[in-house]
Structure 1
Amino acid sequence: MLIGRGRELSRLTARVRELAGGRGGAAFVDGEPGIGKTTLLRAVCDAAAENGCRVHWGAGDELGRLLPLLPLLEALRAERSDEGQAVLRLLRGEVPTVLDPSAVAAERVLGMVEELCADGPVVLAIDDLQWADKVTVAVLSRLVKLVDQLPLLLVGTLRPVPVRDDLSALWRQLGADGQVSLGPLPAEAIGELVAQLVDAHPTDELLRHAEGAAGNPLYATELVTAVADGADRPGSLAAAIDHRLDFLSEQTRHVLRAATLLGVVFSVADLGVVLGRTVAELLPALDQSTAAGVLVESGDGLSFRHALVRSALYERMSPPVRTAWHLEAARLLADAGSPVERVAKQLLVASGADDWTVDWLCDNAGALIGQSPSAAVDLLRRVLATPRWDARRLSLASRFADALYRTGDFDEAEQVATRALALSADPVQIVWLHHILLQCRSMSGRVAQSLVELDRALSDPDTTGRVRARLLVLTARAHWNLGDADAAEKTALDAADAAPADEWVVGWSLHVRSIVLIMRGDMAGALELLDHAVRVIGRDGATAELSLLLRINRAVALGGVDRCDEAVAAARDVRQLAEHVGNTVRLAQAQSALVQMSYDSGCWDDALVDVDLLADELKNPVVAAADHSIAALIKLHRGDHAAAGRHLAIVRAAQVGRHPVLHMALATSLELEQAGRLDEALAALHTSADFDDVLPVIVRLAVAVGDLDTARETTERVVELAADSEVQHRIGAAAYCRGLVDRDGEELLRAATAYRECGRPLARAMALEAAAAAFVHSGQSSSARAAASRSLDLYAELGAEWQLARAQSVLRALGLRRGPKVKHRRAKTGWDSLTPAEATVAQLVVAGLSNPQIAERLFVSRRTVTTHVSHILAKLQVRTRTDIAREASLRQAASG
Structure 2
Amino acid sequence: MTRVLIGRSTELDALVQVLDAAASGTAGVALVGGDAGIGKTRLVTELAQEARDRGFHVLVGQCAELGDALPYLPLLDALREPSIREAVEARPILRGEMLDGGASSGLTQQRLFGSLLDLLGEVQPVLLVLEDLHWADRSTRDLLIFLSRMIQSGRVCVVGTYRTDDLHRRHPLRPVLAELQRLPTVTALELRPLAADDMTDFLSTLGEVRQAVISQVVARAEGNPFYAEELFAAAADGESMPDTLASLLMSRVEVLSEEAQRVLRAAAVAGRKVSDGVLREVTGLGIAEFEEAVREIVSRGLLRVDGYGYIFRHALLQEAVYTDLLPGERTRVHAAFARLLTDPAELAHHHLAGHDLAGALKASAEAGRLAERYGAPAEAHRHYDQVLSLWDRVPDAETLAGEDRLALALRSAVMASDSGDNHRAVAQLQALPATSEVEERLAYYLYELNQDESATAIAENAVRTAPDDGRRARALSTLARCLWWGPRHSEARPAAVEALEVAQRSGAREAEVSALITLGVYEELEGDLERGLKYLDAALDSSSGDLATDLRALFIRSRVSFDHGDLSGAAEFASRGIRLAQETGLTWSTYGTDLRFLRFLVHYAAGEWDHAQTVAAGFGARVGTVQEALLSSFALFIEVGRGLDGVEERLDLLRPFWTDDLIAYMSRGMAAEHALWNRDPATAMEHVEAVLSSLTPADPGIIRVAATGLWALADLGRTDGADALIEAARHGYTTGPSGRRNAMGPEGQAWMARAEAEWARLHGRDTPDQWRGVVAAFDYGFTYEVARARWRLAESLAAAGDRDAAQAEWTLARDAATQLGARPLATALEEFGRRARFVERPAGVLTARELEVLRLVAEGLPNREIAGRLFIAQKTVSVHVSNILAKLGASTRTHAAAEGRRLGLL
- TM-score range (shorter-chain normalised) is 0.5 to 0.7
How do residues 788-867 of structure 1 correspond to structure 2 at under 5 angstroms? 788-807=810-829, 809=831, 816-819=836-839
Tell me the CA shift for residue 504 of structure 1. 0.9
Q: Matched residues, percent identical?
A: 16
| Structure-2 change in CA distance of 1:507 and 1:796 (3 Å) | same
1:668 equivalent in structure 2: 671
- Please give the alpha-carbon distance, in whole angstroms, between the structure 1 residues aligned to 2:272 and 2:607: 55
2:610 equivalent in structure 1: 605
Tell me the CA shift for residue 690 of structure 1. 1.6
2:353 equivalent in structure 1: 349
2:196 equivalent in structure 1: 141
2:463 equivalent in structure 1: 458
Tell me the CA shift for residue 755 of structure 1. 4.2
- Please give the alpha-carbon distance, in whole angstroms, between the structure 1 residues aligned to 2:415 and 2:462: 24
The reply on whether 1:563 has 2:566 as its aligned counterpart is: yes
Tell me the CA shift for residue 380 of structure 1. 4.0
Q: Could you tell me whether the CA contact under 8 Å between 2:440 and 2:458 is conserved in 1?
A: no
| Structure-2 change in CA distance of 1:684 and 1:797 (3 Å) | farther
Q: Could you tell me whether the CA contact under 8 Å between 1:679 and 1:705 is conserved in 2?
A: no
Tell me the CA shift for residue 220 of structure 1. 12
* CA deviations over 1:562-601 (Å, ceiling 9, x no partner): 1223333443344344434443135543331122123223
* CA deviations over 1:242-289 (Å, ceiling 9, x no partner): xx97xx9xxx999999888646975452257669x9xxx943774797
Q: Could you tell me whether the CA contact under 8 Å between 1:559 and 1:567 is conserved in 2?
A: yes
- Please give the alpha-carbon distance, in whole angstroms, between the structure 2 residues aligned to 1:549 and 1:578: 11
Q: Could you tell me whether the CA contact under 8 Å between 1:669 and 1:682 is conserved in 2?
A: yes
| Structure-2 change in CA distance of 1:166 and 1:388 (3 Å) | same
Structure 2: gaps spanning 5 or more residues:
1-10, 19-28, 40-64, 67-131, 136-162, 179-187, 202-211, 231-246, 851-871, 879-906
| Structure-2 change in CA distance of 1:679 and 1:521 (3 Å) | farther
Q: Choose from 470, 477, 490 the match for 2:474.
A: 470
Query: Which range moved further: 594-603 or 786-795?
Result: 786-795
| Structure-2 change in CA distance of 1:661 and 1:446 (3 Å) | closer
2:503 equivalent in structure 1: 499
Q: What residue identity is the alignment partner of 2:326?
A: E
Q: Could you tell me whether the CA contact under 8 Å between 1:637 and 1:802 is conserved in 2?
A: yes
How do residues 93-108 of structure 1 correspond to structure 2 at under 5 angstroms? none
1:659 alignment partner, SS class? helix
* CA deviations over 1:24-67 (Å, ceiling 9, x no partner): 99755499xxx9999965434648997999xxxxxxxxxxxxxx
1:509 equivalent in structure 2: 515
Q: Could you tell me whether the CA contact under 8 Å between 1:578 and 1:587 is conserved in 2?
A: yes
- Please give the alpha-carbon distance, in whole angstroms, between the structure 2 residues aligned to 1:474 and 1:516: 14
The reply on whether 1:705 has 2:718 as its aligned counterpart is: yes
Q: Choose from 553, 556, 563 the match for 1:553.
A: 556
2:681 alignment partner, SS class? coil
Higher relative contact order (CA 8 A, sep 6+): 1
Structure 1: gaps spanning 5 or more residues:
1-10, 54-120, 127-138, 147-162, 182-214, 226-240, 425-429, 831-871, 879-896
Q: Could you tell me whether the CA contact under 8 Å between 2:791 and 2:809 is conserved in 1?
A: yes
Tell me the CA shift for residue 645 of structure 1. 1.1
Tell me the CA shift for residue 487 of structure 1. 5.1
How do residues 756-795 of structure 1 correspond to structure 2 at under 5 angstroms? 757-795=779-817
Tell me the CA shift for residue 635 of structure 1. 3.7
Tell me the CA shift for residue 441 of structure 1. 5.2
Tell me the CA shift for residue 620 of structure 1. 6.8
1:43 equivalent in structure 2: 166
- Please give the alpha-carbon distance, in whole angstroms, between the structure 2 residues aligned to 1:253 and 1:769: 72
- Please give the alpha-carbon distance, in whole angstroms, between the structure 2 residues aligned to 1:293 and 1:797: 56
- Please give the alpha-carbon distance, in whole angstroms, between the structure 2 residues aligned to 1:636 and 1:713: 27
Q: Could you tell me whether the CA contact under 8 Å between 2:561 and 2:570 is conserved in 1?
A: yes
How do residues 78-93 of structure 1 correspond to structure 2 at under 5 angstroms? none
- TM-score (norm: length of structure 2): 0.56
- Please give the alpha-carbon distance, in whole angstroms, between the structure 2 residues aligned to 1:601 and 1:304: 47
| Structure-2 change in CA distance of 1:747 and 1:168 (3 Å) | same
Q: Choose from 529, 532, 536 the match for 1:530.
A: 536
* CA deviations over 1:824-858 (Å, ceiling 9, x no partner): 9999x99xxxxxxxxxxxxxxxxxxxxxxxxxxxx
2:326 equivalent in structure 1: 315
Q: Could you tell me whether the CA contact under 8 Å between 2:344 and 2:364 is conserved in 1?
A: no
Q: Could you tell me whether the CA contact under 8 Å between 2:267 and 2:279 is conserved in 1?
A: yes
Q: What residue identity is the alignment partner of 1:455?
A: E
- Please give the alpha-carbon distance, in whole angstroms, between the structure 2 residues aligned to 1:718 and 1:724: 8
Query: Which range moved further: 713-722 or 652-661?
Result: 713-722
Aligned pairs, number: 645
Q: Could you tell me whether the CA contact under 8 Å between 1:340 and 1:368 is conserved in 2?
A: no
Q: Could you tell me whether the CA contact under 8 Å between 2:263 and 2:293 is conserved in 1?
A: no
Q: Could you tell me whether the CA contact under 8 Å between 2:459 and 2:475 is conserved in 1?
A: yes
2:74 equivalent in structure 1: none
Tell me the CA shift for residue 629 of structure 1. 3.7
Tell me the CA shift for residue 349 of structure 1. 0.3
- Please give the alpha-carbon distance, in whole angstroms, between the structure 2 residues aligned to 1:295 and 1:124: 20
- Please give the alpha-carbon distance, in whole angstroms, between the structure 2 residues aligned to 1:716 and 1:142: 43
Q: Could you tell me whether the CA contact under 8 Å between 2:516 and 2:535 is conserved in 1?
A: yes
Tell me the CA shift for residue 611 of structure 1. 0.8
Q: Could you tell me whether the CA contact under 8 Å between 1:761 and 1:794 is conserved in 2?
A: yes
* CA deviations over 1:9-33 (Å, ceiling 9, x no partner): xx99x99xx9xx99999755499xx
Tell me the CA shift for residue 818 of structure 1. 1.8
The reply on whether 1:659 has 2:699 as its aligned counterpart is: no
1:421 alignment partner, SS class? coil
Tell me the CA shift for residue 509 of structure 1. 1.9
- Please give the alpha-carbon distance, in whole angstroms, between the structure 2 residues aligned to 1:547 and 1:22: 57
Q: Could you tell me whether the CA contact under 8 Å between 2:750 and 2:774 is conserved in 1?
A: yes
Tell me the CA shift for residue 438 of structure 1. 4.6
- Please give the alpha-carbon distance, in whole angstroms, between the structure 2 residues aligned to 1:465 and 1:637: 52
Q: Could you tell me whether the CA contact under 8 Å between 1:265 and 1:302 is conserved in 2?
A: yes
1:421 equivalent in structure 2: 433
How do residues 29-428 of structure 1 correspond to structure 2 at under 5 angstroms? 29=37, 42-44=165-167, 46=169, 141=196, 166=215, 168-169=217-218, 262=270, 266-270=274-278, 282-283=286-287, 286=290, 299=305, 300-301=308-309, 315=326, 317=328, 322=331, 326-327=334-335, 329-334=337-342, 339-354=343-358, 356-367=359-370, 370=376, 372=379, 373-374=381-382, 377-378=385-386, 380-385=388-393, 390=398, 392=403, 394=405, 395-399=407-411, 401=413, 417-418=429-430, 420-421=432-433
| Structure-2 change in CA distance of 1:486 and 1:171 (3 Å) | same
- Please give the alpha-carbon distance, in whole angstroms, between the structure 2 residues aligned to 1:442 and 1:709: 33
Q: Could you tell me whether the CA contact under 8 Å between 1:621 and 1:656 is conserved in 2?
A: no
Tell me the CA shift for residue 385 of structure 1. 3.9
| Structure-2 change in CA distance of 1:283 and 1:873 (3 Å) | same
How do residues 572-721 of structure 1 correspond to structure 2 at under 5 angstroms? 572-585=575-588, 586=591, 588-613=593-618, 615=620, 621-622=626-627, 624-625=629-630, 627-640=631-644, 642-654=645-657, 657-659=660-662, 662-673=665-676, 674-677=679-682, 679-680=685-686, 683-684=689-690, 686-687=692-693, 690-691=700-701, 693-694=704-705, 696-697=707-708, 700=711, 705-706=718-719, 707=721, 709-710=723-724, 713=727
Q: Could you tell me whether the CA contact under 8 Å between 1:256 and 1:313 is conserved in 2?
A: no
Query: Which range moved further: 554-563 or 791-800?
Result: 791-800
Q: What residue identity is the alignment partner of 1:459?
A: R
2:875 equivalent in structure 1: 875
Q: Could you tell me whether the CA contact under 8 Å between 1:621 and 1:655 is conserved in 2?
A: no
- Please give the alpha-carbon distance, in whole angstroms, between the structure 1 residues aligned to 2:671 and 2:324: 61
Q: What residue identity is the alignment partner of 1:763?
A: E
1:584 alignment partner, SS class? coil
* CA deviations over 1:277-328 (Å, ceiling 9, x no partner): 9xxx943774797899999986355899997997799638478xx36x7457
Tell me the CA shift for residue 549 of structure 1. 3.0
- TM-score (norm: length of structure 1): 0.56
- Please give the alpha-carbon distance, in whole angstroms, between the structure 1 residues aligned to 2:252 and 2:328: 25
Aligned residues: CA RMSD = 6.1
Greater gyration radius: 2
